[in-house]
Amino acid sequence: MTVQTALRGLFSALIGLIMLPVVHAQPPLMLPPVAELPQVVAGTEGRQLLAAGDVITARGLAGRDARHYYLVRPATHEARGRRWDEASQRAMILGEARVIRPGSPALLRIERSHREIRPGDYLLAINREAEAFGNH
């Protein structure tokens, strides 16, 4: 391997890093008890890993007024690999979804995803009015 070949490879790797999309980190949020949250049941066509543009079915949305939801997953304690206790359950925001057919089960379209969404993940209503005033 010549120096020129090594430099060409390094240059290509740096260009590849520069071209990666910017993903903004979301702070973990505190979840209410997960037993109270709607849950992703499945993706269309039996898919298990879902992302933006996919349609999902969810249970537990009947009687809820929200049209937009965060897709969340309970976080694990990084240092010990254990789940946080139920009283202070933390969650990762995986993306956002919009209701396209209410009911039980409801249909939602994933509008944005930061990570893959899987059956078993939860939905947390987004309060659009509070966001408009900067009260997240």
- State pLDDT tens for residues 79-135: 445 554 544 567 889 999 999 999 889 999 999 999 999 999 999 999 765 444 444
Is there a domain that residue 1 lies in?
no
Is there a domain that residue 22 lies in?
no
Average pLDDT over every residue of 15-23: 52
Does residue 34 have a pLDDT over 90? no
Is there a domain that residue 7 lies in?
no
- Residue, of 26 and 39, whose pLDDT is higher: 39
- Residue, of 135 and 73, whose pLDDT is higher: 73
Neighbours of 97 (CB within 10 A): 29
Average pLDDT, the chain: 77
- Residue, of 40 and 32, whose pLDDT is higher: 40
Does residue 31 have a pLDDT over 90? no
Is there a domain that residue 5 lies in?
no
Identify the H or E element spanning 13. helix 3-18
Is there a domain that residue 17 lies in?
no
Does residue 1 have a pLDDT over 70? no
Is there a domain that residue 100 lies in?
yes
Is there a domain that residue 113 lies in?
yes
Q: Which domain holds residue 66?
A: 29-132
Distance (Å) of CA 120 to CA 1, 10, 38, 41: 49, 41, 10, 6
Neighbours of 21 (CB within 10 A): 4
Burial (CB < 10 A; 0-12, 13-18, 19+), residue 111, is: middle
What is the pLDDT at residue 86? Answer: 47
pTM: 0.67
Number of domains in the chain: 1
| Percentage of the residues of the chain whose pLDDT score is greater than 90 | 40
